[in-house]
């Protein structure tokens, strides 16, 4: 893993006013993770990337987003469109697979949004 300079980490942290670029939660500097918007695919050969039609992301400020640990872990090596689709699929799976979720829904304690996934950085006012 590459070592990112402190000055770069601070710029990434401030990129969306100290919020996760994806879910919008407030980030503490020391808990912030840096996500590669276009994944690096560490340990993947160029021929494998070519086979799957993927490109390897760079270590650069324009390819970094501030992220909370759950978002960074969930995004993994997805590009943004594929991750957006995966999140939508998680919604379908929890409805199908979780009896606890269905029970909470019956009691009105949780609800299902029909909205599409919109990341924090895509919203108009992300300066909190």
Please say whether the beta carbons of 61 and 18 come within 8 A. Answer: no
Whether pLDDT at 54 is above 80: no
Whether pLDDT at 27 is above 70: yes
Domains of the chain by residue range: 6-122
Mean pLDDT of 35-40: 91
Whether pLDDT at 62 is above 50: yes
pLDDT, position 127: 56
pLDDT, position 2: 56
Could you report the per-residue pLDDT of 63-74, keeping only the tens digit for each?
Answer: 999 999 999 999
Percent of the chain at pLDDT exceeding 90:
70
């Amino acid at each position: 893993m590459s070592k990112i300079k402190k000055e770069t980490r601070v710029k990434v942290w401030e990129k969306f006013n100290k919020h996760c670029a994806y879910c919008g939660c407030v980030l503490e500097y020391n808990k912030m993770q840096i996500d590669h918007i276009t994944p690096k695919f560490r340990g993947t050969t160029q021929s494998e990337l070519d086979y799957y039609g993927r490109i390897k992301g760079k270590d650069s400020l324009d390819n970094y987003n501030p992220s909370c640990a759950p978002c960074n872990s969930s995004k993994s090596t997805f590009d943004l469109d594929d991750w957006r689709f995966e999140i939508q699929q998680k919604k379908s799976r929890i409805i199908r697979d979780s009896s606890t979720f269905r029970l909470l829904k019956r009691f009105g304690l949780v609800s299902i949004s029909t909205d599409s996934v919109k990341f924090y950085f895509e919203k108009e006012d992300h300066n909190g």
